Structure 1
Amino acid sequence: MAISIDISRKFPIGIQSFKSLRECNYLYVDKTALIYQLVNSGKPYFLSRPRRFGKSLLISTIEAYFKGQKELFEGLAIEQQEKDWIVYPVLHIDLNAEKFDAPEQLDALLSNQLTQWEAIYGQGEDEATLSLRFKGVIRRAAEQTNRPVVVLIDEYDKPLLQSLHKEALHSAYKDTLKAFYGVLKSADQYLRFYLLTGVTKFSQVSVFSDLNQLNDISMDKRYNEICGLTWQEIADNFEPELKELAEDNDLTPEETLETMTRLYDGYHFMFGQEGIFNPFSVLNVLDRSQFDNYWFKTGTPTFLVELLKKTDYDLRDIDGVQMAVDGFADYRADVQRPIPVIYQSGYLTIKGFDPRFRLYTLGFPNEEVKYGFLNFIVPFYTAIPSTESSFYIGKFVRELESGDVDAFMERLRAFFADIPYELNDKTERHYQAVFYLVFKLMGQFTEAEVRSARGRADAVVKTRDYIYVFEFKLDGTVEEALRQIDDKGYLLPYQSDGRQLIKVGANFSAEERNIENWTSQ
């Protein structure tokens, strides 16, 4: 049976050019009303959003607007708002186009871009440095066109993120970009509008120390929806695809919404605002009519895992960690403070806010990110390859569903095999991380919780027939573990549940770096 494809419904997956999107009739969720508000409300802006969240398309749309390309906006909200369509000189820098692993690569990219502009606007004889050339181009473009200049910088932080664990290279990039971006402040009189986008904001003593006038709209409720999709936008623009997705996966419309929300929603860039769906995953799932971890597969958070390991961060705290308001205002890719960078990268989002103490609570935005991240970091803490972690987790679940505690514990021991030598002095934190990964990943298939707070069991797993309460001791005894379960009343919340209650006590040997023995009752 031939598959019918509606070619009139083209999805802009990977399309970052607004001009191409409109001329080739790709589907477009209209963000132009917000864009009009942004470009006519101020001049210097910065926006942080996770990768694959539509930043490049936003930049391209703003570029088309300032170039006066009215025909591209036919039928969109901005067509009714803008009357003049003035053409401005636009300088667009895209730092996505290079792999940054040597100082000369950043210099070459910036120089190449400047050379293209200088072919149009000329070059001063005494402009020897990149920053002087940049300032000269801005001034001449404004003078020659008699219009102020628009500067758009996409993924400004890519060189810094790629060099995060190479101190000398990172410092060289930081110095170059600090001088280059600092031009925007001194050239302010020649500028109509400028926007820098990226994943993180390296501020204060870093690249933005000279560019401190930027209006950071990353947590501005007025622009919460400028990148990403709301559920209403999805429902309004993709009704045929939502219907097909439901039919193909044997779901009701309500179940489709629930599944989409659970997998791809939940990004909050300011507390109290509507959750935002990951646009890359949404477009892919609707185009293919198949649920999958589309966003997570497009990039691996290796540098974030390295940050966690360098700080010996307690993984059990990552989902529910609290951060002061100031932690968001001063973004630093700092190995001593990994959480702000993990948040900005899209692996954590705002879940709550305490106005009294001005503390945000962060957590995984959705299941795509949560289980993608946890599966990815398994090889960094265990000897189990990420390709096999799902196999192990499935076995774990089946063994507990069948009541086979011994098989479960034997398999758990395999997760501690061949702990790297350099982690030998971090045994306690390391074994806690492994327990956390195992029980959190089991949550994909059954009710599983792993605790870090004192006065609660280390882990609880609920299957159809059983409720397991686990307590682990480091260089203790299984008797002590079982006694703690009884003395602390860990079973009490489940006494009236009706399922069989099983308590499991285990001892972890620091010397052997593995589970030494266990017992269950």
Structure 2
Amino acid sequence: MDQNMKRLPYGINDFEAVIEQNQYYVDKTMYLPLLENQPSNIFFIRPRRFGKSIFLSMLHAYYDCSKKEKFQTLFGDLWVGKHPTPLQGKYQILHLDFSYVGGGIEKLEENFNMYLRVKLDGFMRVYQEFYLADFKERFFKSDSGTEKLALLQDETATKNLPLYLIIDEYDNFTNTVLNEQGENVYWAITHADGFYRDVFKKFKGMFERIFITGVSPVTLDDVTSGFNIGWHISTKPEFNQMLGFSMEEVRKMFAYYKEVGGIPAASDIEAMIDEMKPWYDNYCFSEDALHTQSKVFNSDMVIYYLRNYIDRGEAPKQMIDPNTMTDYNKMKKLLQLDKLDGDRKGVIRTIAETGQIVTTLEETFPASRLTNPQTFTSLLFYYGMLTIKGTFGDMMILGIPNNNVR
């Protein structure tokens, strides 16, 4: 086995750590110019464990003005290293992950404010050279996250400093509230003067570019009705394979590990892929990519399988990664299978019996429409429980993608 063999980044979400610690990175940097050609405010949904967090970490490293000097180290061997864009290293980045906001409903606003405050203080420490001492003193003295945002907005506008906002898991705690506290409590934080809606209002106009990810479009519709949400790119064909692994990427990864002795020389890569396909593959997120691109693998599952092969020289005995059971339990709570009305139970029954359902795919919808059976099938699609299998007239055929989901 080659001593310099790249380690598998199982469960690692830090792009810089992956590159600097000689871990295998599936290059997604060729999507950067495509993203720059989209409107400035981008919203992108994918199911859990499709590599959203490491993709955002890569975006952060690429656009961050404080990491400009590390460009060659981090990106020199990747596609964008040979094709840098004009926006590389241009921005101060505020990178938020709302999965860190939790606690009981009575403490939710306080916890959200505390998280925002901590992240903004961290932001100011990174970029302090751009700000005068008296401003920094006022900024750090404030104990309100939204006040810090307002201060930052005024100062960066005055100084013409470009900001980039990245939000991971934007809908994490709101989904939990919707499920556990009901629609009234959810409505209170996402509408009118609700604190979550209020902070989104402040984001608008403050950042030159915004990239938001999550697992469903529900909260987006509720908190951003003042936003123009035409930047939802989740079902555009050019971004179908931006997250997850394509067949070509899987084949290249396996060939690498065979070449460096990570997997036995006698291993049949095509047989390994054939073994994985029924369990981890067959995702398609764009109707227009249905017949022009290979299907997408769940990236977490592929790495889980390959790690077993490297450790033991054979496929895992349990094809489903036990770590994903937490995700499916979360999903089960979100879907409230025990509280479904007759129409939605009928949807589940149809899918269970036939493996698919004919429906229309809705790009965005408010929480108030989740009881609508058509909206419910779209929610199942965004959660990764269904995928695009074909078309029926102007309708979509959504089906169970693989054994893992089944």
TM-score, normalising length: structure 1? 0.62
Does the 8 Å CA contact 2:254/2:269 hold for their aligned counterparts?
A: no
Aligned partners of 1:308 and 1:343: how far apart in 2?
Answer: 20
Q: State the partner residue of 2:240.
A: 224
Task: Summarize the Cα distance change of 1:22–1:138 in structure 2 as closer, same or farther, 3 Å threshold.
Answer: farther
Counterpart pick for 2:117 among 81, 95, 111: 111
Counterpart pick for 1:49 among 42, 46, 51: 46
Pairing 1:345–2:383 present: yes
Q: Mean alpha-carbon deviation: is it higher for 105-114 or for 303-312? A: 303-312
Q: State the partner residue of 1:432.
A: none
Does the 8 Å CA contact 1:53/1:228 hold for their aligned counterparts?
A: yes
Residues 83-109 of structure 1, C-alpha deviations (whole Å, 9 max, x = no match): 654432111111122334332322322
Aligned partners of 1:26 and 1:253: how far apart in 2?
Answer: 21
Q: State the partner residue of 1:461.
A: none
Shift of 1:321: 2.0
Pairing 1:285–2:312 present: no
Q: Which runs of 5+ in 1 are unaligned?
A: 371-521
Shift of 1:21: 1.0
Shift of 1:157: 0.5
Q: State the partner residue of 1:11.
A: 8
AA aligned to 1:182 is K
Pairing 1:196–2:179 present: no
Shift of 1:303: 1.6
Q: State the partner residue of 1:154.
A: 168
Shift of 1:214: 4.9
Aligned partners of 1:251 and 1:331: how far apart in 2?
Answer: 49
Task: Summarize the Cα distance change of 1:205–1:230 in structure 2 as closer, same or farther, 3 Å threshold.
Answer: closer
Aligned partners of 1:227 and 1:72: how far apart in 2?
Answer: 19
Q: State the partner residue of 2:325.
A: 297
Does the 8 Å CA contact 1:332/1:340 hold for their aligned counterparts?
A: no
Shift of 1:324: 1.5
Q: State the partner residue of 1:78.
A: 80
Shift of 1:74: 1.1
AA aligned to 1:223 is F
Structure with greater helix percent: 2
Aligned partners of 1:240 and 1:204: how far apart in 2?
Answer: 40
Question: How much is the aligned-residue C-alpha RMSD, in angstroms?
Answer: 3.0
AA aligned to 2:339 is K
Alignment size in residue pairs: 359
Instruction: Give the secondary-structure state (helix, strand or coil) at the position aligned to 1:182.
Output: helix
Aligned partners of 1:83 and 1:212: how far apart in 2?
Answer: 26
AA aligned to 1:336 is T
Task: Summarize the Cα distance change of 1:254–1:204 in structure 2 as closer, same or farther, 3 Å threshold.
Answer: closer
Does the 8 Å CA contact 1:49/1:344 hold for their aligned counterparts?
A: yes
Aligned partners of 1:128 and 1:212: how far apart in 2?
Answer: 31
Q: State the partner residue of 1:22.
A: 19
Shift of 1:322: 2.4
Aligned partners of 2:75 and 2:262: how far apart in 1?
Answer: 30
Does the 8 Å CA contact 1:296/1:369 hold for their aligned counterparts?
A: no
Aligned partners of 1:352 and 1:13: how far apart in 2?
Answer: 32
Aligned pairs (5 A) from 1:162-173: 162-165=176-179, 166-167=181-182, 168-173=184-189
Shift of 1:254: 3.9
Does the 8 Å CA contact 2:149/2:202 hold for their aligned counterparts?
A: yes
Q: State the partner residue of 1:330.
A: 365
Instruction: Give the secondary-structure state (helix, strand or coil) at the position aligned to 2:389.
Output: strand
Shift of 1:182: 2.1
AA aligned to 2:390 is G
Shift of 1:75: 1.1
Q: Mean alpha-carbon deviation: is it higher for 303-312 or for 237-246? A: 237-246
Counterpart pick for 2:252 among 230, 236, 244: 236
Does the 8 Å CA contact 1:264/1:277 hold for their aligned counterparts?
A: yes
Residues 265-288 of structure 1, C-alpha deviations (whole Å, 9 max, x = no match): 011101242310000000110111
Aligned partners of 2:368 and 2:387: how far apart in 1?
Answer: 17
Instruction: Give the secondary-structure state (helix, strand or coil) at the position aligned to 1:361.
Output: strand
Instruction: Give the secondary-structure state (helix, strand or coil) at the position aligned to 1:232.
Output: helix
Residues 145-172 of structure 1, C-alpha deviations (whole Å, 9 max, x = no match): x431111111110111111221254234
Aligned partners of 1:183 and 1:307: how far apart in 2?
Answer: 36
Task: Summarize the Cα distance change of 1:220–1:332 in structure 2 as closer, same or farther, 3 Å threshold.
Answer: farther
Q: Which has the larger Rg?
A: 1
AA aligned to 1:341 is L
Counterpart pick for 1:140 among 137, 155, 165: 155
Of all paired residues, the percent bearing the same amino acid is: 24
Residues 264-317 of structure 1, C-alpha deviations (whole Å, 9 max, x = no match): 101110124231000000011011123421263342222244156322412321
TM-score, normalising length: structure 2? 0.79
Instruction: Give the secondary-structure state (helix, strand or coil) at the position aligned to 1:38.
Output: helix
Q: State the partner residue of 2:281.
A: 265
Does the 8 Å CA contact 2:258/2:267 hold for their aligned counterparts?
A: no
Does the 8 Å CA contact 1:263/1:367 hold for their aligned counterparts?
A: yes
Aligned partners of 1:82 and 1:27: how far apart in 2?
Answer: 21
Task: Summarize the Cα distance change of 1:88–1:205 in structure 2 as closer, same or farther, 3 Å threshold.
Answer: closer
Does the 8 Å CA contact 2:38/2:231 hold for their aligned counterparts?
A: no
Q: State the partner residue of 2:312.
A: none
Q: Which runs of 5+ in 2 are unaligned?
A: 310-314
AA aligned to 2:381 is Y
Greater RCO, CA 8 A, separation 6+: 2
AA aligned to 1:179 is D
Task: Summarize the Cα distance change of 1:130–1:171 in structure 2 as closer, same or farther, 3 Å threshold.
Answer: farther
Does the 8 Å CA contact 2:217/2:363 hold for their aligned counterparts?
A: no
Residues 230-254 of structure 1, C-alpha deviations (whole Å, 9 max, x = no match): 0111111221546989969x98544
Does the 8 Å CA contact 1:311/1:335 hold for their aligned counterparts?
A: no
Shift of 1:76: 0.7
Task: Summarize the Cα distance change of 1:18–1:124 in structure 2 as closer, same or farther, 3 Å threshold.
Answer: closer
Shift of 1:133: 3.3
Pairing 1:31–2:10 present: no
